[in-house]
Structure 1
Amino acid sequence: MSMMSIRAATPRDREAIRLVEEHAFGQQAEAGLVDALVTGGDAVTELVAEEDGQVVGHILFSRLFVQSGGKNFAAVALAPLAVEPSFHGSGIGGALIREAHIRLRDAGETLAVVLGDPAYYSRFGYSHARAEKFESEYQSEALQALTWGDAPEAGRLVYASAFGSALAA
């Protein structure tokens, strides 16, 4: 019986991560976003899931700022989360999210934002109600937030520049 393991991503994983992202999303945009966030120094937590020595899942949280009252409050953005299609439904995505949340809390992060399926991400504590007062070009029901402590309730979300570049591509 094989055993799935989760660990921090390393430079050796770049090609495997790219393939997981491309397979999961059926395009290259998310893989390009990951590359841009990592090379731009915006990655905060990046994990991979391995099964029998093969990378089958990936999650990245990048630096995000909430601008409010002339101040910048550091937060993180979950994007992207990817699992090889043949492993969908096996719990790998959820395991990656839970492990990343533990590491982020332990590192002192207090606010995470995601743009994704509310039915999926609400299972991990994300809610649109927590994110609806944020100003963002992504403001919609899919914009959700999760807090682990004292974090701003409102303000402008400022994503890493790689997000703008990836969307323009």
Structure 2
Amino acid sequence: MTDFKVRPAEEKDRLGVSILLDTAFGGPSEARLVADLRASGAMALELIAEHDGSCFGYVAFSHMRSPEGLWALSPVAVQQARQGQGIGGELIRQGLDLARRAGATAVIVVGDSQYYRRFGFSLKAAENLSTPFAREATMLYPIVPGSGGMRGALKYPEAFFPE
């Protein structure tokens, strides 16, 4: 299916997004993360992919606590039956473009380097950042010149560390 549109998520989409995340991730942890990011004011951007009013793709970006200006991409999800159709990629590409327009310095992601490097994420660009997550899966998408290779400690919103 290539007949879909990407748009900013709205409050009316929250139930559909929660169901999508619960299904895609096999439980409520990602939906809880999204709700906590919203509640704490750390959410920077949410996009959905839809067709005929049905939400089947989602991506979120949140404001990192440190380094200043960094955004985190997490989570991204597409209904299993619609995977492999470029939906997740389109959500990520549009989200990165909107992050750039909003003035983000760079975007961090933790995930499969084979997948994310096609969007411009790089392990090398993140090598000087200390992270609470897997070093071998932490990648940076530089936006501002010189942001690749920046130094510092990645401090994610508290929502990433539920008690």
- Shorter-chain-normalised TM-score: which range? over 0.9
SS in 1 for 2:57: strand
SS in 1 for 2:155: strand
Corresponding residue for residue 42 of structure 2: 42
Unaligned ranges ≥5, structure 2: none
Work out whether residues 132 and 139 of structure 1, in 8 Å CA contact, stay in contact via their aligned partners in 2.
no
Distance 1:2 1:63 in 2: 30
SS in 1 for 2:18: helix
Corresponding position: 1:158 with 2:155: yes
Corresponding residue for residue 75 of structure 2: 80
Q: Could you tell me which of 89, 112, 130 is aligned with 2:107?
A: 112
For the aligned residue pairs, the C-alpha RMSD in angstroms reads 1.5
How far off is 1:74 after superposition? 2.0
Q: Taking structure 1 as reference, are residues 124 and 2 closer, same or farther at Cα in structure 2, changes over 3 Å only?
A: closer
1:31-50 deviations in whole A, cap 9, x for unaligned?
11011101111110110000
Unaligned ranges ≥5, structure 1: 68-72
Distance 2:26 2:48 in 1: 19
* Moved >2 Å (runs of 4+): none
Corresponding residue for residue 30 of structure 1: 30
Aligned pairs, number: 161
Q: How does 1:141-156 map to 2 (within 5 A)?
A: 141-150=136-145, 151=147, 153-156=150-153
How far off is 1:139 after superposition? 4.0
How far off is 1:3 after superposition? 2.1
Corresponding position: 1:5 with 2:2: no
Distance 1:17 1:140 in 2: 29
Work out whether residues 20 and 83 of structure 1, in 8 Å CA contact, stay in contact via their aligned partners in 2.
yes
User: What's the % identity of the aligned pairs?
Assistant: 36
How far off is 1:6 after superposition? 0.4
Work out whether residues 2 and 85 of structure 2, in 8 Å CA contact, stay in contact via their aligned partners in 1.
no
Q: For residue 144 of structure 1, what is the amino acid of its counterpart?
A: M
1:30-81 deviations in whole A, cap 9, x for unaligned?
11101110111111011000022100000000010334xxxxx221000000
Corresponding position: 1:95 with 2:54: no
SS in 2 for 1:158: coil
Q: Which has the higher strand share?
A: 1
Distance 2:54 2:60 in 1: 18
